[in-house]
Structure 1
Amino acid sequence: MEEITSVQNTKIKQINKLKKKKERTKQGQFLIEGFHLIEEAYNSGLKIMSLLLVDPSRIDEKMIEYAEEVYTINFKVAEALSDTTTPQGVFAVVELPSNDVSTDNQVLVLDRVQDPGNMGALIRNADAAGMDAVMYSKGCADPYQDKVLRASQGSVFHLPVIEVDLESYLNGFDGNVFGTSLEDAVNYQTINKQDKFALIMGNEGSGVEESLLKQTTQNLNIPLYGKAESLNVAVSCGILLYHLKG
């Protein structure tokens, strides 16, 4: 097990580049931190290229054997790799999954969701509700950046999460498509359980793109009984998904 003690090490420099989406795409890999996320990646059968550990005794031996390469690092290197204030001291470089767009029955569609916390929570909602896939537009937060991974709690590993051209995707979707809007929309409670559907959740500030709302079967809204102007996009998504699933 090779030891790395310098933040200037070539391997560490290469791994740190994975914090940028361009490099993740170029290398076909992404970086994760923390025991829970690494365990989720392992249990999901993703290929672990490298494990970097401050204390190897704290991680299951089966994961050490599973990884292509294993390195011990000191806390200084851990701080350089981490985006958190208190690093857990365990990192993995993982191969990006090759998900194909398929004709799924139940799909969450995300339009320009920019906040990483919301993006992760939405993916987690889809996973919890048993959705088949998440399709997202260019302009959404990257599912494989650190903050999204942490907010998803590993759900990004449990179902296909794929960037697509939403208009083209929805044109080919053979099922009911529901948008979320304040105008030309009905109370979500009037809609019956759906076997095959796509639900579109939009940008935190501007909502779903107008062109996408024109492709929907029906647009939905959630009534507000208090003084709040709106619900958080992830909260709204959870309500709608569980209603449509029945």
Structure 2
Amino acid sequence: MEPIASAQNPRIKAWKKLQRKRERDRSGLFLVEGEHLVEEALKSNINVKEIIVVEDRELPKEWAVTEVEVVRVTERVFQELAETETPQGMIAVCEKPPPENMLFESGRYLFLDRIQDPGNLGNLVRTAEAAGLQGVVFGSGCADPYNGKVVRSTQGALFYMPVQQMDLSEALEHCRANRVPVFGTSLNGSTYSAIAPQESFALLMGNEGSGVDPSLLEQTDHNLYIPVHGRSDSLNVSVAAGILIYHLRGD
């Protein structure tokens, strides 16, 4: 089959639209760019619908792609679809997994309030998956978990970590009903080291500039902060989350 050589091809135009959240929400599809991430998607339970590759690129022989359509395109057309500065010549079109229905009856969770930087969000999901959490909740005002940069920043963790978009007040209510303690993050809280490890918990992290919404902090069981001993006034939100998650786990 001849490679697609025109950016005006209907399939190329449809895939290009997936760079926008509105189209991802409408279609239930998202793009995964780069060989490592495509491989991780294939190994996970994510449904990979198509793999788009530059015409002279061969897929690794060990990949199980017999049921996946492989579409070849020219280098120029691939540049239309790629979002990275140095594309690797491979993109997968994937179905978003069904929405999670987290009950918060027990377990360990990460709640995110208005975190907008895609790189931070991706790192937070990656940290949560590495720490064995049961889920990540994206509150209103967060970037889309299927934004291309978020997906790339997770390094594949998004394919294994349950994520849910929901109102954080509702999530906090579920935690209270199930006696799952919720820990917010605030400079007016207690030093995190004063809290003992927990069998179950939800950790609430907030916006990079303004922190957690005060109305949400009023609904938590405890609010914590990490002392800063140098001249910086704060830690990056994903770094702070890693410290707190592993402390609350007891690791």
**Bucket of the pairwise TM-score, normalised by the shorter protein:** over 0.9
Map of 2:165 onto structure 1: 163
Aligned-residue identity in percent: 48
Q: 2 CA distance for matches of 1:230 and 1:74?
A: 46
- State the 1:50 CA deviation: 1.0
Q: 2 CA distance for matches of 1:6 and 1:161?
A: 36
Q: 2 CA distance for matches of 1:128 and 1:12?
A: 35
TM-score (norm 1): 0.96
Contact between 2:57 and 2:89, CA under 8 Å: does it hold in 1? no
Map of 1:91 onto structure 2: 91
Q: 1 CA distance for matches of 2:90 and 2:10?
A: 19
Q: 2 CA distance for matches of 1:111 and 1:119?
A: 11
Residue 200 (1) aligns with residue 204 (2): yes
Residue 178 (1) aligns with residue 187 (2): no
Secondary structure, aligned partner of 1:4:
coil
Residue identity in the other structure for 1:233 = V
Residue identity in the other structure for 2:209 = G
CA RMSD of aligned residues (A): 1.2
Residue identity in the other structure for 2:66 = E
Q: 1 CA distance for matches of 2:118 and 2:23?
A: 18
| Counterparts in 2 of 1:207 and 1:60: CA distance versus 1, 3 Å | farther
The equivalences for 1:1-246 within 5 A come to 1=1, 3-54=3-54, 55-60=56-61, 62-67=63-68, 69-104=69-104, 105-173=107-175, 174=178, 175-183=180-188, 185-246=189-250
Q: Deviations over 1:2-56 (max 9, x none)?
A: 6211111100000000001110010010011111111111111211111111145
Aligned residues: 244
Residue identity in the other structure for 1:89 = G
Gaps of 5+ in 2: none
Contact between 1:2 and 1:70, CA under 8 Å: does it hold in 2? no
| Counterparts in 2 of 1:216 and 1:41: CA distance versus 1, 3 Å | same
